[in-house]
């Protein structure tokens, strides 16, 4: 990233913004369809792919908190796809909060990262969804 001119970096960020907004819109549509049981069989795969793309692109652009949140969203989809997690309103809410935070970052005047405190909160909530613990387990 250090070898890029400001104009080149701005152009990359603009592409990231446009692509991320399209992915976020598609993910929101698929999430709502899944929540209401109207989704096709490929919706979960598309959702996972969308999170994976945002994760990779944000890592390349040095947006570590967007990357962390997208990674945890991807983990939730992986857990569902592997049959380790049942998709429910709690997981949908946690995912939507993560997606909203990413959307806020890419729609601001200048693409920026998710604030650390918010990212930590989102990662914690998504981790709790993706890796549920049995009460009383030590």
Task: Calculate what percentage of the chain has a pLDDT beyond 90.
Answer: 70
Residues of the chain with pLDDT under 50: 135-138
Helix %, strand %, coil % of the chain (to 5): 70, 0, 30
The residue behind tokens 């549920």 is: 132
Give me the long-range contacts of 38-43 (CB less than 8 A, separation at least 24).
Answer: none
Sign of the dihedral through C-alpha 49, 52, 57, 60: negative
d(CA 96, CA 46): 15
- Over residues 38-68, the pLDDT tens digits come to 877 799 999 999 999 999 999 999 999 999 9
pLDDT score at 88: 86
Structure tokens at 71: 């990674």
pLDDT score at 46: 95
96 SS3 class: helix
CB atoms within 10 A of CB 33: 13
pLDDT score at 1: 60
pLDDT score at 4: 81
The residue behind tokens 């070898």 is: 3
């Amino acid at each position: 990233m250090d070898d890029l001119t400001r104009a080149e970096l701005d152009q990359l960020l603009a592409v990231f913004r446009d692509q991320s907004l399209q992915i976020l819109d598609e993910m929101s549509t698929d999430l709502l369809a899944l929540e209401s049981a109207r989704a096709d069989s490929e919706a979960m795969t598309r959702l996972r792919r969308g999170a994976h793309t945002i994760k990779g692109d944000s890592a390349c652009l040095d947006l570590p908190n967007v990357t962390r949140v997208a990674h945890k969203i991807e983990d939730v989809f992986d857990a569902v796809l592997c049959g380790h997690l049942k998709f429910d309103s709690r997981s949908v809410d946690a995912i939507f909060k993560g997606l909203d935070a990413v959307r806020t970052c890419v729609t601001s005047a200048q693409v920026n990262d998710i604030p650390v405190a918010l990212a930590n909160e989102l990662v914690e909530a998504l981790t709790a969804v993706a890796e549920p613990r049995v009460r009383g387990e030590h």
